[in-house]
A and B are shown apart, each in its own frame.
Chain A
Amino acid sequence: MAAFARALGADPADGVPPTYAAVYALFATAPQLFGDPEAAVDFANLLHAEQEFTWDRHPAVGETVTSRGRVAADMERRGMRFITFETEVTVGDEPVCRSRALFVIRGAAA
């Protein structure tokens, strides 16, 4: 977490940077999508096009979170594939964060 804060030029003493959600929400779950042969995601041509996070609260250092990802939409338009990937993060039964990512895969087969 401290290295993450420093990479953003932030002071780790100020607490967990909000977009550490990239780690505990997005990258805790998206690799399952990218690695799923059935999803057939062309990772080399994938771009992260949009991102939204909403928080009920920010997890604290030392808390254990559970993140569950799902594909909310998957469509092709003008030779590009658009995947909306949503992740729900909980601490126990308590929801703390939601992530919604739009991935665009260029040059998807029509």
Chain B
Amino acid sequence: MSELVVTFTEEQIAAYAEASGDHNPIHLDAEFARSVGLPGVIAHGMLQMGLLARVAGEQGRLRRLSCRFAGMVRPGDTVVFRGEEQGGRVQLSASNQDGESVVTKATAELLP
């Protein structure tokens, strides 16, 4: 089993926005995020998925990766990402400090 514990920060979310080119203000501007009904800035789903990929296994073997973004991740949240491989299929999970799953239906497939 592979595990990664990440406490999200505004800096990491901003660095991901810069590196990925996804500058949607819901990830960067708290006032804007609140104006569209969110509690504040939230992490990119793709940032969560990038961290899931890190626990899915050796990256060159990865052939499929999928998940549903089930909960919001905010700066200050600590999320535990876990991956468990069985015969090329990987069950993935990510849950926050309150034990809530922030992604569901998360699986990966690896080349042998």
Task: Give A contacts to B, CB under 8 Å.
Answer: 3-4, 6-10, 14-15, 17-19, 22-23, 26-27, 43-45, 47-56, 58, 106
Total B residues in contact with A, Cβ cutoff 8 Å? 34
- B21 to chain A minimum Cβ distance, whole angstroms, is 5
Measured CA separation A106–B53 after assembly (Å)? 28
Asked if B65 and A52 sit within 8 Å, CB to CB, the answer is: yes
What is the interface of chain A mostly: helix, strand, loop, or mixed? mixed
Shortest C-beta distance, B12 to chain A (Å), equals 7
Verify B59–A8 contact, CB threshold 8 A: no
- Rounded to whole Å, the gap between the CB of B2 and the closest CB of chain A is 13
Among candidates A4, A14, A47, A106, residue contacting B59 with C-beta atoms closer than 8 Å: A14
Cβ-defined contact, A8 with B21, below 8 A: no
